[in-house]
A and B are shown apart, each in its own frame.
Chain A
Amino acid sequence: MTDITASPYVRQDIVAERPAPVKTTGFVGLMRSRLFNSPTNILLTILGALLLWYTVIPSITFLFVDAVWTGKDRTACLPEKAGFVVGACWPYIQAKLPQLMYGFYPEAERWRVNLTFLLAAVLLVPMLIPRLPAKGLNSGLFFVAFPVVAFFLLRGGGITGFGVSWTAGLLQLVDDSVISAGQALLNLSKSSAIGPLLWIIGQFITVVGTAIQWLIFPLTWLRDMIQSSSQPVWGDFAVTAVIVTLLVFWLRGGLRTGWRALVPSIVTFIGIAIVIKLMALDKGGLPIVDTRLWGGLLVTLVVSVAGIVTSMPIGIALALGRRSTIPLIRLFSIAYIEFWRGVPLITVLFFATYMLPLFLPGNFTVDGLVRALIGIALFTGAYQAENIRGGLAAIPRGQGEAASALGLSWWKTTSLIVLPQALRHVIPNLVNSFISLFKDTSLVSIVALFDLLGSLRASFADPVWTTPSTAFTGFAFTGVIYFIFCFGISRYSLFVERRLNAHSRN
């Protein structure tokens, strides 16, 4: 047996120590591997550094170093008076802050705006944290109850009736219009080539209208009784509560399923009663603040939240309509979606401001803010429809087929099986379209509403604060607000996306 170390292929001496490998982590490693590793890269690094040097440093100098922090009017921010090159003029922001936040909302009533913001935050924060329970209740409160409360808080005013009066009024309005349509057709039939056909249709519509009139007679009678009583709001409230509760009870299966079915309805009505009592809606409510006085961040938030809340049902309906097999409904949905997606938002706002009032009865005036909201809801609805359609397409057919196999109707299949999964799929897309909606709300300033950007532009016109740096200061401040909102929401959307795709991550 020979010594293995004597073999020619075994190394005799110990290998010398190699130098430690070049550090590839940390700041030094980063510099070595991604900044200065080749001549081109060094050049690019210098280029990038120069770019930053000529943008970041002047911005910081403008915003902080050369800024004026205190003052009463423009003289504080004039270079001649201050004695140096003046950067940002922060006293201007200080003076205009109320206008940028609330517009011309009366000073004594601004607590209402603050309270609304607070309410929104209290409802929104738990909804955004995935770990917290009761998402259904939370979203119900935020998307349904909150807008109503916010409306009465921000605008003020009270109510003169409740469910019964409103339903009766609405039905009567529709019925009157149907009957007048029938009459118009009958009149037209006398002078038309297809007179007999029009006459038949007109007669039919008139008969239908009269039938509806008889059908809703109990409701209108009830309304008249309630309105002539001493407590119309509370009387109406009680009657509505009883009717709705009984209806819910009956639809849920009546005595078979027991009395528990009554609980949600009763709790809801108690909640509504508390709100009515607290805000004294039955006695006229808070003083009315005309929407023309609203402005600033308030309008931006109102328009974007109202836009997203109202566009969701429109979007869901259109997405389902576009996937429906019923020809007319599918055609209508496609035409609607393609139309609104094909035109710019500005023209939609022009449409809502100038054209919509022409389409409404002459005695019917719509508030300027509401008109813009209608335009935005119609427009965003089409975009939401495409988002939701993507989600619907991602649900395997088997889900719907399994539901039909269990004997669920189309409505139950859609609302219990398909839609919840589809909506969960597209949460990131919905959030992204909320961001673009939030940015697009700035366009309402073109149709004479003063949102954040509109208020900013209006504040430039104030001669008390015209200095060379006013515009830059104003844009810097508003830009930060917009950026915080949009960037924050987009980061949240990324977080949700990661969470939703947690199962497919490797």
Chain B
Amino acid sequence: MSNEARKPPAQIALKLRRILGGKAGWNGVAVQLAFAAVLGWIAFEIVSNARANLANQHIAAGFGFLRNNAGFDVNQTLISYTGSDTFGRVFVVGLLNTLVVSIVGIFFATVIGFIIALCRLSPNWLLSRVGEIYVELIRNLPLLFQLLFWYLAVLAALPNPRQSISFFGISFLSNRGLVVPSPIGEPGMTAFLVVLGLGIVASFALRSYSRRALFQRGQVIRIWPFVLGLVIGLPLLTTLVFGLPFTFEFPQLKGFNFAGGSRIIPEFVALTVALSTYTAAFIAEIVRAGILSVHKGQMEAGASLGLSRGTTLRLVVIPQAMRVIVPPLTNQYLNLTKNSSLAVAIGYPDLVSVFAGTSLSQTGQAIEIIAMTMGVYLLISLVTSAIMNVYGWRINRSLGA
């Protein structure tokens, strides 16, 4: 009888079992096989049925239709587009329209959301009640309801162009949409843009220099006058030298409609208003929760260090609140982008409306078109969540967790 330590049992089989079947072991493998068989069977059914149905309807599967002529017009395009362009171009036009309404919506939603959050946090009783009423009212009504309300009730009730509401005589709101002055490039444009870009880059460099001075030597450098000079003063100076960078073409009432200027279609206005007011209610709640999540002691600690109230807010409270705010805020931005697909209800030419709507009914290529549309949204949300994962990882690392 030997006292030698026994050799550890061979773990290869165990490890293999764990990898293949999880904790359930070989049972897990059996379950997976059965599951794969069911999935395979469903896939077979789908493919064979889809083939038979497409053959019945005489539709050729594949993405060849993207090179065919679309033959319909789109009433808002960022890139040049005519009815004789291809469905592929329709896809791009729709995608750009989706992106533009999302970006504008995100901007306004953030602004309104922060204002409402400040109202709700305000020590003023009346103002915080107003904020609360706004949030409750907006959150408890469907977005589509609000969208149709703005489009069918409010915008439709606006006067015709001849009696349009004028904003300082330069832009006009009527039931044909919002007419704004359109900028027209002049020779001084290039120099202006170059100098502006240089100014912005220089300001960032200045900021990083001053931060380093603050953190390494404790030296406070006031940079805002320089930044102001770089970003606003220098471009103005170039204007004096090279001439105006652009002039505005003002809209003029000619007959029954406006001539000149650029027209923002009412669908875009309705969609932007609905999306930004709706999302703002959710953003307001997120911001409020974020600011309330910072402990009161942080503010007091800042004050006891001799920092002013504004400095404490800027350097102590807001960075900590942002950690709580940013992930759900991104989620809301994503929601807004996805919700912009409601455009189809009022005929704003977004991706769903012109591609999954008009193009689908013209070509009948349901599978390809819906797969492409879903793919775009899926891609946007996967990319965003990937960025958020990186952000969360960095936050965790910086906290030393």
Indicate whether A130 reaches chain B with its CB closer than 8 angstroms.
no
Of B84-92, B145-153, B291-299, the stretch lying at the interface with chain A is: B145-153
A111, CB-defined interface residue at 8 Å: no
Among B68-76, B120-128, B389-397, the one that faces the other chain is B120-128
- Do residues A439 and B152 form an inter-chain contact, with CB atoms below 8 A? no
Query: Which stretch of A8-16, A136-144, A221-229, A351-359 is in the interface?
Result: A351-359
- Taking a contact as CB atoms under 8 Å apart, the answer to whether B152 and A339 are in contact is no
Q: Is A468 an interface residue (CB 8 A)?
A: yes
Partner of A347, one of B48, B49, B143, B370: B370
Tell which of B166-174, B253-261, B374-382 binds the partner.
B374-382
Judge if B144 is at the interface, Cβ distance under 8 Å.
yes
Determine if B157 and A468 form an interchain contact, defined as CB atoms under 8 angstroms apart. Answer: yes
- Which residues of B lie under 8 Å from residue A177 when comparing CB positions? 41, 45
Name the distance in Å between B237's Cβ and chain A's nearest Cβ.
38
CB-defined interface of B39-82 with A at 8 Å, one 1/0 digit per residue?
10100111011101110100000000000000000000000000
B residues within 8 A CB of A350?
A: 352, 356, 360, 370, 373
Dominant secondary structure at the A interface: helix
B401 at the interface (CB under 8 A from A): no
Indicate if A112 sits at the interface (CB-CB under 8 A). Answer: no
Q: In the complex the two chains form, what is the Cα distance from A441 to B142 in whole Å?
A: 9
Partner of A338 from the list B31, B123, B143, B382 (CB cut-off 8 Å) is: B382
- B377 contacts which chain A residues (CB < 8 A)? 342-344, 347
Cβ-neighbour of A34 out of B52, B56, B124, B145 (below 8 A): B124
Flag A429-441 by CB within 8 Å of B: 1 or 0 each: 0000001000111
Contact status B124-A442, CB under 8 Å: no
B247 at the interface (CB under 8 A from A): no
Tell me the smallest distance from the CB of A492 to a CB of chain B, in Å.
13
Residue B49 contacts which of A332, A360, A439 (CB distance < 8 angstroms)?
A360
A356 shortest CB reach to chain B, Å: 9
Please, which residues of chain A bring their CB within 8 A of the CB of B122?
44
Kindly name the residue among A45, A48, A490 whose own CB sees the greatest number of chain B CB atoms within 10 A.
A48
Contact B49 A359, beta carbon cutoff 8 Å: yes
Of all chain A residues, the one with the shortest Cβ separation from B23 is A325
Given A457-B148, A482-B141, do A326 and B24 touch, yes or no (CB 8 Å)?
yes
Contact B145 A44 (CB under 8 A): no
Task: A487 to B370: give the CA distance in the assembly, Å.
Answer: 35
Q: Pick the contact of B341 from A52, A327, A344 — CB < 8 Å?
A: A344
A75 within 8 A of B: no
Cβ–Cβ contact B56 & A48, under 8 A: no
A63 to chain B, nearest CB (A): 14
Beta-carbon contact of A52 and B130 below 8 Å: yes
**Docked CA distance A342–B157 (Å):** 36
Check if A490 sits within 8 Å of B50, measured CB to CB. no
Tell me if B320 is interfacial: C-beta within 8 Å of chain A. Answer: no
Q: Given A178-B41, A442-B145, A453-B144: A35 and B152 within 8 A (CB)?
A: no
Contact A35 B124 (CB under 8 A): yes
Judged by a CB distance under 8 angstroms, whether A97 is at the interface is: no
Are B130 and A48 touching (Cβ within 8 A)? yes
Question: In the complex where A325-B22, A443-B342 touch, is A30 in contact with B152 (Cβ < 8 A)?
Answer: no
Query: A362 contacts B49, CB within 8 Å?
Result: yes
Contact across chains for A30 and B125 when beta carbons are under 8 A apart: yes
Closest CB in chain B relative to A366 CB, distance in Å: 12
Q: B20 interface residue, CB < 8 Å from A?
A: yes
A181 touches B360 (CB 8 A): no
B344 proximal to A (CB < 8 A): yes
Contact of B136 among A344, A471, A487 (CB under 8 A): A487
The segment from A65-73, A84-92, A274-282, A472-480 found at the interface with B is: A472-480
Q: Answer yes or no: B35 CB below 8 A from chain A CBs.
A: yes
* Cβ contacts under 8 Å, B152 to chain A: 457, 460, 471, 475
Assess A329 versus B381: contact at CB under 8 Å? Given A358-B54, A482-B142, A490-B140.
no
**Of A44, A358, A440, A460, which one neighbours B126 at CB under 8 angstroms?**
A44
Most buried by A among B24, B50, B122, B345: B345
B35–A329 CB distance below 8 A: yes
CB-defined contacts of A396 to chain B, threshold 8 Å: none
What's the nearest-Cβ distance from chain B to residue A141, in Å?
A: 29
Distance in Å: Cβ of B117 to nearest Cβ of chain A: 15
Residue from B28, B125, B367 within 8 A of A358 (CB atoms)? B367
Q: Complex formed: what's the CA distance from A330 to B31 in Å?
A: 12
Q: Which residue of chain B lies nearest to A300 when distances are taken between CB atoms in the complex? A: B142
Residue B100, interface by CB 8 Å: no
Residue of chain B at shortest CB distance from A185:
B44
A324 B22 Cβ-Cβ under 8 A: yes
Interface residues on A, range: 35 or more
Q: Which of B49, B139, B148, B366 contacts A453 (CB 8 A)?
A: B148
Q: Is A44 a contact of B124 with CB atoms below 8 Å? A: yes
A475 and B341: CB pair below 8 A?
A: no
Cα–Cα, bound, A328→B37 (Å): 12
Main secondary structure of the interface of B (DSSP, over half): helix
Known interface pairs A351-B370, A440-B142; A362-B124 also in contact (CB < 8 Å):
no
Within 8 Å of chain B (Cβ to Cβ): is A207?
no
- Minimal beta-carbon separation of A394 from chain B (angstroms): 19
B373 A326 Cβ-Cβ under 8 A: no
Q: How far is the CA of A47 from the CA of B118 in the complex (A)?
A: 14
Which one of A41, A184, A355 lies within 8 Å of B367 (CB-CB)?
A: A355
B15-29 CB mask vs A (1 if < 8 Å, else 0) is: 000011111100010
**In the bound complex, what is the Cα–Cα distance between A181 and B125 (angstroms)?**
70
Whether B342 lies near A475 (C-beta < 8 A) is no
Query: Does chain A have a CB within 8 A of B311?
Result: no
**B45 to A, closest residue via Cβ:** A177
Are A341 and B148 CB-contacts (below 8 A) given A350-B356, A358-B53, A472-B153? no
> Given the known A-B contacts A351-B370, A358-B366, are A344 and B144 also in contact in the complex, defined by CB atoms under 8 Å?
no
A34 near B123 with CB under 8 A, answer yes
* B137, CB-defined interface residue at 8 Å: yes
The answer to whether A342 and B382 touch (CB under 8 A), given A326-B24, A332-B39, is: yes
Most chain A CB inside 10 Å of its own CB: which residue of B24, B31, B149, B374: B374
Determine if B36 is an interface residue (Cβ-Cβ < 8 Å): yes
A38 → chain B closest CB, angstroms: 9
Contact A342 B378 (CB under 8 A): yes
Cβ–Cβ < 8 Å partners of B339 in chain A: 344
- Say yes or no: B20 contacts A327, CB within 8 Å: yes
The reply to whether A453 and B142 contact each other, CB–CB distance below 8 Å, is yes
Q: Does B338 reach chain A (CB closer than 8 Å)?
A: yes
- Interface flag for A446 (CB, 8 Å): yes
Docked pose: A329 CA to B21 CA in angstroms: 10
Interface string of B320-364 (1 = CB under 8 A from A): 000000000000000000110110110000001000100010000
A122-159 vs B, Cβ < 8 Å mask (1 yes, 0 no): 00000000000000000000000000000000000000
* CB–CB A351/B374 < 8 A: yes
In the complex, A360 Cα to B47 Cα: how many Å? 10
A interface residues, Cβ below 8 angstroms from B? 30, 34-35, 41, 44-45, 47-49, 51-52, 177-178, 180-181, 184, 324-330, 332, 338-339, 341-344, 346-347, 350-351, 354-355, 357-362, 410, 435, 439-443, 445-446, 453, 457, 460, 468, 471-472, 475, 478-479, 482-483, 486-487, 490
Closest 10 pairs between A and B when the two form their complex, measured CB to CB: A325-B22, A486-B140, A34-B125, A48-B126, A344-B338, A342-B381, A439-B142, A471-B153, A354-B366, A326-B22
Sampled A-B contacts (21; CB under 8 Å): A41-B123, A44-B122, A48-B124, A326-B22, A330-B22, A332-B39, A342-B377, A343-B377, A344-B377, A346-B341, A346-B342, A347-B341, A347-B370, A347-B377, A350-B360, A358-B54, A358-B366, A361-B49, A457-B148, A460-B152, A475-B149
Contacts A347-B356, A347-B373 known; 6 new A-B pairs at CB < 8 A: A30-B125, A177-B41, A326-B22, A326-B28, A326-B31, A342-B382
